[in-house]
Amino acid sequence: MKVTIFLFVLFFTFTKLFGQIDTALIEGRISYIGSQHLYVKFPSTEGISIGDTLYLKIDNNLIPALKVSQLSSLSCTAESISTYEFVVNDHVYLKQQKQESHKEDPINSKKSPIIKSDQQVVDSANNSSQQKFKQQINGRLSLSSYSSFSNTPADDFYRMRYTFLFNAKHIHNSKFSLESYISFNHKQNEWGEIKANIYNGLKMYGLSLKYDITDQMKIYLGRKINHKLSSIGAIDGVQFEKSFKSFSFGAFAGSRPDYSDYSVNLNLFQFGSYLSHNHITKNAKIETTFAFIDQKNNSITDRRFAYFQFSNSLYKRFYTFLSVESDLFKIVDSIPQSTFDLSSLYVSFRYKISKKLSLSTTFDVRKNVIYYETYKNFIDKLLETESRQGLSVSLNYRPAKYLSTGMRTSYRFRKDDIHPSRNLNGFVSYTQIPGLKISGTINATFLQTSYLEGQIYSLRLSKDLMKGKLLLGLNYRYVDCIYPFSEQALVQNIADISLSWDIYKRLILSVDYELTAEQKDIHNLVFLNLSKRF
């Protein structure tokens, strides 16, 4: 309770620290639509945080539509919180706060004389150098609670989560910058686990200090995900990058976070280097990165691999992305050997046939994502796991301004799959129904995996109650599946109601209630979140 009160005080303390706040809009576009997530491209994700809301602009009104879940240097992964069905190249917006600049002192704002002394020239050069680095501070503080209760009390739980995200760029107009993303969560009556190991509750997803040696040379110290090497995850240690013209060279040395609790583990040493090329013209953009990484476990090589990433938009309606990992090391009969085995591959093609019609396809044989924190229900986890990997094709069509429809099919066959996994999903969506101003989506999914077959139908409605300040969402899903080998049925009725309220100057309260009814079992989940962005 003391922690909660302390964090509430911090909410309003930070609000006062940085002066009067102004609001601007940062524009992004939908670059890819997956089965559960959307990918949004921005000029830069500086200032964007996990948990932020992205808005649609309809008839000059901003409507909450997406919630940011993951970040890279130029794009983010987001989950839909509205009924609007996106297509590739749709535009979304982030409300970005700006600190009001201080007015110039009239005494010091006089024009410089035409003739300057040598000392004045030196001072002017120093001031010009210092002005290149302008302090920018933003962050987010949030309190969340997750309550689960059902007719089987043994499965009930109550969890609190505290999150602090703070980014200080060029502190006091200096060359130093700080990035941090820290969370702490605990369940009721489980303090024993926290006392035994603080990292059972504390998660440091990012905590790093950056120093700009020059405009083209920088160094990082601490825990940071290098967005040019995002596939290897967080790096605990030192990272260096040097840019020259369109090329950039980087190197790092440190360790990987512990697999079990995400703490610092110096026994998992790693090092590597990369070379990146970025070519931008008026009509095209090409980015290429090649990296070499060596990872050890107790001083013994655990994995050595090469990483290649390529993206281009040679034509404004056509976009491609490729990432490849190849292992360069393996042990056969206790003897280390060099090898060249393809271990990860992801290819994506997107083509906007016309303003109304777009086509995309992906081939994904990457490893499954490991979540250190997740609150997805069984169906959401299943759809994400079974439909992400393999070959997929998506077609989206918008016949009218507010009407959109689409279809996605995927196919996956792995060595450990008894049978191939097939997935077919279709939707019809209408935004801002005349008179009611309600957005609605009908969705149907047909799923066939090695251990589960069936269909899922859903209806989603949302309404803006106060011009972007208060959003109400209603969602219903009917799950009708069967486990073929046991002929056991999985029938669920899932109802969800959510409310998002922008209370005052980006102090946002979110309330979500989900009810899952399965035969005689009733499961309830209540989510509450209060967040303040500064």
CA-based R_g, the chain, Å: 25
Q: How far apart are CA 309 and CA 430, in angstroms?
A: 37
In 3D space, the residue among 225, 252, 254 whose CA is nearest the CA of residue 237 turns out to be: 254
> If pLDDT is split at 50, 70 and 90, which confidence band does 10 have?
very low
Phi, psi of 381 (to 5 degrees): -65, -40
pLDDT digits (tens, 9 = 90+) for 341-385: 888 888 988 888 888 898 999 988 876 655 556 656 666 766 666
Domain residue ranges of the chain, discontinuous segments joined by +: 198-260+263-370
Given a contact cutoff of 8 angstroms between Cβ atoms, the answer to whether 254 and 267 are in contact is no
- The set of residues, in sequence order, having a beta carbon less than 8 Å from that of 405 and lying 6+ positions away, is 85, 396, 397, 398, 399, 426, 427, 428, 429
**Nearest of 458, 391, 394, 396 to residue 422 by alpha carbon:** 391
Check residue 336 and give its pLDDT: 80
Measure the CA angle with vertex 332, ends 328 and 336; round to 5°: 55
Q: Which helix (H) or strand (E) holds 468?
A: none
Q: Give pLDDT, residue 85.
A: 62
Measured distance CA(428)–CA(402) in Å, rounded: 11
In this predicted structure, the answer to whether residue 423 has a pLDDT above a threshold of 60 is yes
pLDDT at 112: 36
Burial of residue 340 (number of CB atoms within 10 Å: 0-12, 13-18, 19+): exposed
pLDDT of 188 > 60? The answer is yes
Region of residue 487 (left: phi > 0; alpha: psi -120 to 50; beta: else): left
Percent with pLDDT over 70 in the chain:
78
Residue 41 has a CB neighbour count (10 Å cut-off) of 17
425 alpha carbon, distance to own chain's centre: 23
> Which pLDDT tens digit goes with each residue over 32-67?
676 557 778 776 676 677 767 888 776 556 667 788
Q: What's this model's pTM, rounded to 2 decimal places?
A: 0.69
In the beta sheet, which residues pair with residue 294?
271, 304
The candidate with the shortest Cα–Cα distance to 320, out of 331, 309, 336, is 309
Give the model's pLDDT for residue 496: 94
